[in-house]
């Protein structure tokens, strides 16, 4: 039985506002969480994703971000916390801390040493099992990395993960549409009840029409309503409406992501876009991530303005 009754919809990976001296801004984080939860179509909020600058946060700060968001949304909306660790005991400790902070589900990123050395089929299964054993009453979400990384999961591994009773959703970001389609089919054939959520922020429409159940994306911390509207149009089979909405999203996507995939600087540009749209009042990022330059700010301002969202 899943803790989150409905993984199908839009789940923002929340940004983490900082004060000008780089401390977690609790007031701003609470305001952002409540604002996101107020959008019909948002079914949960995820903390400590890449958009939340997780790699700049200490383990204690990661738990604190989850505590703040879970407390703010208590009784209103479930909170998922990403965990990104390097070993079984490390992952168990992070999972226990996230549970104590109020998370009801965990987004499990691959250990980052796998990016360098790769992993075996059994490595991944052991990793998920160790986290489950540490927090047996929490749902797990599988975070799927791009196919070009050494932390990419095979279609067979994803099928085997789909059979785990405690794993309820997949956050899929292969950045390879052929593998994306094969992986979706493998998961569906293994257990069609498991939710599949695109995390292709930079090409939402193209990935949404592949038969998924929604989106778990950092971009939704910036433009939740546009992404909800896009998803609703896709569900309704209204391609013309979906293309119209995507045409509004595309300049924002280009200003945030450029021609590539999400990066630390893309997350900084997203924060600046959120500032221009009046979503947050301070777009400070933690070093070594760099704030947008003047040219990037001008592009963001133009994109936010064309979407009708400019407040500053």
Helices 59-72 and 88-101, packing angle to 10 deg = 30
**pLDDT per residue as tens digits for the range 127-180:** 999 999 999 999 999 999 999 999 999 999 999 999 999 999 999 999 999 999
Could you tell me whether strands 214-217 and 167-172 are parallel, antiparallel, or unpaired per DSSP bridges?
Answer: unpaired
Instruction: Round to whole Å and give the CA distance between 53 and 262.
Output: 12
Q: Write down all domains in the chain, each with its CATH number in brackets.
A: 9-224 (3.20.20.70)
pLDDT at res. 4: 77
Count of Cβ atoms closer than 10 Å to residue 130 Cβ? 17
**pLDDT per residue as tens digits for the range 293-303:** 999 999 999 99
Residues 6+ apart with CB under 8 A from 256: 201, 219, 222, 266, 269, 270, 273, 300
At residue 102, the 3 state secondary structure works out as coil
Q: Predicted confidence band at 1 (pLDDT cuts at 50, 70, 90)?
A: low
Whole-prediction pTM value? 0.97
Instruction: Round to whole Å and give the CA distance between 42 and 245.
Output: 18
**pLDDT per residue as tens digits for the range 232-286:** 999 999 999 999 999 999 999 999 998 677 777 999 999 999 999 999 999 999 9
**89: enclosing H helix or E strand:** helix 88-101
**Residues 218 and 10 sit within 8 Å (Cβ to Cβ):** no
Q: Is the pLDDT of residue 118 over 90?
A: yes
pLDDT at res. 2: 72
Return the DSSP state at 166.
Answer: T
- Residue whose tokens read 């979706």: 184
pLDDT at res. 263: 73
**Residues 105 and 136 sit within 8 Å (Cβ to Cβ):** no
Task: Give, in order, the Cα–Cα distances in Å from 309 to each of 120, 201, 224.
Answer: 46, 19, 12
CA nearest 283: which of 307, 311, 247, 248? 311
What tokens were used for 230?
């896009």
Q: Predicted confidence band at 3 (pLDDT cuts at 50, 70, 90)?
A: confident
What DSSP line would sit under 24-49, residue for residue?
Answer: B-HHHHHHHHHHHHTSTTB--EEESS
Q: What is the mean pLDDT of the chain?
A: 96
Instruction: Round to whole Å and give the CA distance between 189 and 53.
Output: 35
Region 26-51 average pLDDT: 98
Instruction: Round to whole Å and give the CA distance between 264 and 52.
Output: 10
**pLDDT per residue as tens digits for the range 48-87:** 999 999 999 999 999 999 999 999 999 999 999 999 999 9
CA atoms in the 13 A half-sphere facing the CB of 148? 4
């Amino acid at each position: 039985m899943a803790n989150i009754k409905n993984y199908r919809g839009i789940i923002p990976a929340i940004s983490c506002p900082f004060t000008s001296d780089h401390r977690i801004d609790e007031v701003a984080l609470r305001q952002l969480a409540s604002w996101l939860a107020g959008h019909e179509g948002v079914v949960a909020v995820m903390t400590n994703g890449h958009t939340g600058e997780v790699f700049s946060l200490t383990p204690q700060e990661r738990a604190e971000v989850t505590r703040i968001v879970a407390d703010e949304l208590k009784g209103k909306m479930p909170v998922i916390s990403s965990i990104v660790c390097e070993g079984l005991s490390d992952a168990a400790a992070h999972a226990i801390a996230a549970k104590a902070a109020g998370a009801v589900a965990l987004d499990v990123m691959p250990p980052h040493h796998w990016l360098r050395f790769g992993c075996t089929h059994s490595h991944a299964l052991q990793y998920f099992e160790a986290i489950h054993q540490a927090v047996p009453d929490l749902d797990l979400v599988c975070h799927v990395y791009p196919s070009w990384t050494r932390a990419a999961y095979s279609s067979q591994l994803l099928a085997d993960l789909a059979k785990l009773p405690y794993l309820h959703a997949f956050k899929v970001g292969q950045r390879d549409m052929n593998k994306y389609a094969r992986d979706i089919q493998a998961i569906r054939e293994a257990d069609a009840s498991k939710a599949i959520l695109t995390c292709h922020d930079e090409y939402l429409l193209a990935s949404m029409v592949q038969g998924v159940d929604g989106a778990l994306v950092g971009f939704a911390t910036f433009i939740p309503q546009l992404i909800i509207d896009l998803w609703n149009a896709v569900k309704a089979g209204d391609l013309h409406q979906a293309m119209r909405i995507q045409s509004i999203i595309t300049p924002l996507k280009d200003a945030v992501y450029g021609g590539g995939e999400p990066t630390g600087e893309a997350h900084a540009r997203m924060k600046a876009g959120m500032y221009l749209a009046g979503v947050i009042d301070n777009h400070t990022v933690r070093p070594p991530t760099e704030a947008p330059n003047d040219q990037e700010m001008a592009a963001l301002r133009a994109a936010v303005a064309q979407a009708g969202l400019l407040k500053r």
